[in-house]
Structure 1
Amino acid sequence: MPKRFSILVLLCNLWAMPMMALDATLEIITSSTKLPFIIVEHIADNNEYGQKLLSQLSGDLRVSNHFQVEKGESVKDKDPDFQTYKDKKIDLIARVSASKKSGAITGRLVLYDVRSGKKIFDQEYTQPTLNRYPFIAHEMCISINTYIQAPRIDWMREPVVLSKYTNSGNSVIALADYTLTFQQDIIQGGLNIFPKWGNKEKSIIYFTRYINDKPTILRYHLHTNTTETIVQSDGMAVVSDVNSNGTKLLLSLTPNKSAADVYLYETQTKNLKRLTSFSGIDVGGKFINNEREVAFISDRLGYPNVFATNLEGGNVEQLVFHGRNNSAVASHDKYIVYTSRESNNEFGLNTFNIYLIATNSDFIRRLTEKGSNQMPTFSKDGKNIMYIKHTDTQSALGIIRLDYNSSYFFSLPKVKIQSYDW
């Protein structure tokens, strides 16, 4: 069995936000005695997108936590002098380049194994538009990761859907990659908020728009660029979760100007069922425990906290017994992440931290420190958490790699995110 060791490192990312002003140090525990050392180089005489791929791929490899990474220089398109790299203790050489044609972009990855002195593969990856080059880098990283047989990082290719404010009373819904380097507006005009992926294929998006001064849930089809109305309410209408096969939605509604409650909506029958009934606020329902139960936020204790009920709308039980202001929740089967307010400043930024719990144990783990950490969301495989971090000086999109106790940040200059889904 490999000897376990821990190291204290500065988790900096060359193309992401410098972390010194955020969570500058974390203790990293790994079960590997040596990570493969990879150098990423750019094939010379190439356009600017080759250099962009070089930076993006270098960053992706670092975020994977499976490599020691060095960002190299430009080189000629010929086989390397393997002895030179052996002398530097380098295990893998990744060389990238890019070409453009009719608005599309193709990236080329050549991977060499230094120890065997062989070219492993020479592969091309294409995206339909130039601004989607980050997805090429993500696919390259997944390919290299697969070659060393490291734990899967397919989550890197998953797109993010987000709502961002543009000006007073207006917001757009956009698609993005996990670093937000790529962003493309897809729904505009008016206040478009609370986007939620509607199926595994990520071809359907649910979102809320105000129509005739009433919040209305719409279903948007990416392939056809069409929308249809699902339900309208008085004070609130939000899709907070979608089940694995896209047939059930959890909604937060306030029909007839009543208090907000959690509802279950069947997409095939269009049946709407009320799951909670409380004079205060019940919102933000999330499927848990193999989609048999629902976690949600309620103020029934006099402050926001996390509770659960079943899909029949039966008894309600308290899930979280830590903190007195737990205002956001996300889930992945039996695991739940929630935000907890841990300061009460009348003026200035309050501290919100993110915690991870399991519904079948007393397990609890704090995931953040310092600043206001909000909007936690699991990746599709449940092994990563995306969230927004605000400090007095800057804002960032954060990625927590749960299996590695590591965090990475991507700057959010001039982007005010209302909500998002991963």
Structure 2
Amino acid sequence: MPKRFLIFAMLWALWAMPMAALDATLEIITSSTKLPFIVVEHIADNNEYGQKLLSQLVGDLKVSNHFQVEKGESVKDREPDFQTYKDKKIDLIARVSASKRGGGIAGRLVLYDVRNAKKVLEQEYTQPTLNRYPFLAHEMCIGINTYVQAPRIDWMRELVVLSKYTTSGNSLITLADYTLTFQQDIIQGGLNIFPKWGNKEKTIIYFTRYINDKPTILRYELSTNTAEIITQSDGMAVVSDVSSDGQRLLLSLTPNKGAADVYLYELQTKNLKRLTTFSGIDVGGKFINGEKEVAFVSDRLGYPNVFATNIEGGNVEQLVFHGRNNSSVASHDKYIVYTSRESNNEFGLNTFNIYLIATNSDFIRRLTEKGSNQMPTFSKDGKNIMYIKHTQTQSALGIIRLDYNSSYFFSLPKVKIQSYDW
């Protein structure tokens, strides 16, 4: 993959910061070039959501990796004394406020360029409910990021759908932002697991529920709060991937109480095609290489590993040659990310690390170092990976910023995440 350049408009001039993306050797090159220094302040005499918005925006700016960030004080709603900020080597001032509007919330961002001593951005953002205030901060961060012409961070506005265990035999399906600050339970009652977005617009969710003691795949419409059954199976029924046009599903099914295999399901024709025929376990299919092939996890070597086959089925080839217990595969274009179990602890959590490979390369990169790290998923642009980090008592969502070799964690105290999609 060719090098890219990270371009910031540094206030009084444009300056360039070279950053190498994932190339054929999957190396990450960092730079020590100075980042813009931004202070985030809250406009005084505002309600509680102003302070929450301030803290959220500070966190988002740090996660972007494009700024040096300082949390400022409460200030009056008037033009700042630019010389004071200039003396502190501050480049940008972001001032935020929030107010309730009907049943929703509005947030205001004012961005000042200290070098040029002027206001460069003033924008209002709205959300339909108060608990969605984190998305105000995400949009503000994207706006500030756009002003300095940094690489896009649109992934921050993406909804996450996840399944949370509540009690034995029960789990909720919840919508959340990437920090888990916003959460909205949408599906409950029974065991609701393996949620998967069904289209780019994120108005459809596939998930699995036990109906009459059979795992059943349902298609849920967010706009109408209605669900319809897609198919059932005896031992496993999971949607593992959805095509880019939303018309084809990859399923893991165990019909007739046999072993699990990967199937291709056509929504329009309702045609179900079996892609793998191994006598053991084949699961977790993911579209790769322009959706012409499917990567999946199989125990055909006597332990779980990652393989690939043509979308029409047929010959199977091994994709991963590292580790002896590899699972939770995900894909983006030519890249594969997967988990590998690296301990065998009978009584506690095992160590699962996450690795990244390219289908056109023999090189491999480890992305985590310790702990139980599972279910990696790429962001839409392929430049970030989300995953679950488990402890004995709770789960966290992790974000790996691939171009910056940095990771961030957002926990759910006393809650276990079963699975998620981004």
- Identify the TM-score tier after normalising by the shorter chain: over 0.9
Shift of 1:390: 2.9
Shift of 1:411: 1.9
Q: 1:266 to 1:394 in 2, by over 3 A?
A: closer
Tell me, what secondary structure is at the counterpart of 1:296?
strand
1:164 corresponds to which residue? Answer: 164
Q: Structure 2: where are the runs of 5+ without partners?
A: 1-14, 20-26
User: Greater shift after overlay, 292-301 or 222-231?
Assistant: 222-231
1:261 corresponds to which residue? Answer: 261
CA contact (8 A) 1:4 1:32 kept: no
Q: 1:3 to 1:221 in 2, by over 3 A?
A: closer
User: Alpha-carbon deviations, 1:40-88, whole Å to 9, x = none?
Assistant: 0000000110000000000000000000000001000000000000000
User: Alpha-carbon deviations, 1:244-299, whole Å to 9, x = none?
Assistant: 01011000000111110000001111110000001110000000001100000000
Counterpart mapping for 1:76-87 below 5 A: 76-87=76-87
Shift of 1:340: 0.5
Tell me, what secondary structure is at the counterpart of 1:277?
coil
Count of residue pairs the alignment pairs up:
401
User: Alpha-carbon deviations, 1:288-319, whole Å to 9, x = none?
Assistant: 00110000000000000000001111100000
User: Alpha-carbon deviations, 1:326-370, whole Å to 9, x = none?
Assistant: 021111111110000111122322111000000011121000011
CA contact (8 A) 2:395 2:415 kept: no
Counterpart mapping for 1:318-337 below 5 A: 318-337=318-337
2:237 corresponds to which residue? Answer: 237
Shift of 1:141: 0.2
Shift of 1:189: 1.0
User: Alpha-carbon deviations, 1:1-59, whole Å to 9, x = none?
Assistant: 96879xxxxxxxxxxxxxxxxxxxxx995346110000000000001100000000000
Asked whether 1:280 is paired with 2:280, we answer yes
Query: 1:373 is matched by which residue type in structure 2?
Result: N
In 2: Cα distance, 1:184 partner to 1:85 partner: 40
Counterpart mapping for 1:74-113 below 5 A: 74-113=74-113
Asked whether 1:352 is paired with 2:369, we answer no
Counterpart mapping for 1:156-195 below 5 A: 156-195=156-195
Query: 1:128 is matched by which residue type in structure 2?
Result: P
Shift of 1:372: 0.9
- In the superposition, the TM-score normalised over structure 1's length comes to 0.93
User: Alpha-carbon deviations, 1:361-399, whole Å to 9, x = none?
Assistant: 112100001111111111111110011113468642210
In 1: Cα distance, 2:267 partner to 2:32 partner: 46
Query: 2:112 is matched by which residue type in structure 1?
Result: Y
In 2: Cα distance, 1:378 partner to 1:122 partner: 32
Query: 1:350 is matched by which residue type in structure 2?
Result: N
2:137 corresponds to which residue? Answer: 137
Q: Structure 1: where are the runs of 5+ without partners?
A: 6-26
1:297 corresponds to which residue? Answer: 297
Query: 1:79 is matched by which residue type in structure 2?
Result: E
Tell me, what secondary structure is at the counterpart of 2:166?
strand
2:22 corresponds to which residue? Answer: none
2:399 corresponds to which residue? Answer: 399
Identity rate of aligned residues, in percent? 89
Tell me, what secondary structure is at the counterpart of 1:327?
strand
In 2: Cα distance, 1:99 partner to 1:223 partner: 27
In 2: Cα distance, 1:143 partner to 1:78 partner: 21
Shift of 1:101: 2.1
In 1: Cα distance, 2:368 partner to 2:184 partner: 29
Asked whether 1:150 is paired with 2:150, we answer yes
CA contact (8 A) 1:248 1:265 kept: yes
Query: 1:81 is matched by which residue type in structure 2?
Result: D
User: Alpha-carbon deviations, 1:192-231, whole Å to 9, x = none?
Assistant: 1100000000000000111111111000011111111111
2:207 corresponds to which residue? Answer: 207
User: Greater shift after overlay, 385-394 or 355-364?
Assistant: 385-394
Tell me, what secondary structure is at the counterpart of 1:322?
coil
2:123 corresponds to which residue? Answer: 123
Q: Let me know the Cα RMSD of the aligned residues.
A: 1.6
CA contact (8 A) 2:396 2:409 kept: yes
Tell me, what secondary structure is at the counterpart of 2:326?
coil
2:69 corresponds to which residue? Answer: 69
Tell me, what secondary structure is at the counterpart of 2:252?
strand
CA contact (8 A) 1:28 1:406 kept: no
Asked whether 1:315 is paired with 2:308, we answer no
Query: 2:210 is matched by which residue type in structure 1?
Result: Y
Q: 1:295 to 1:192 in 2, by over 3 A?
A: same
1:411 corresponds to which residue? Answer: 411
Tell me, what secondary structure is at the counterpart of 1:30?
coil
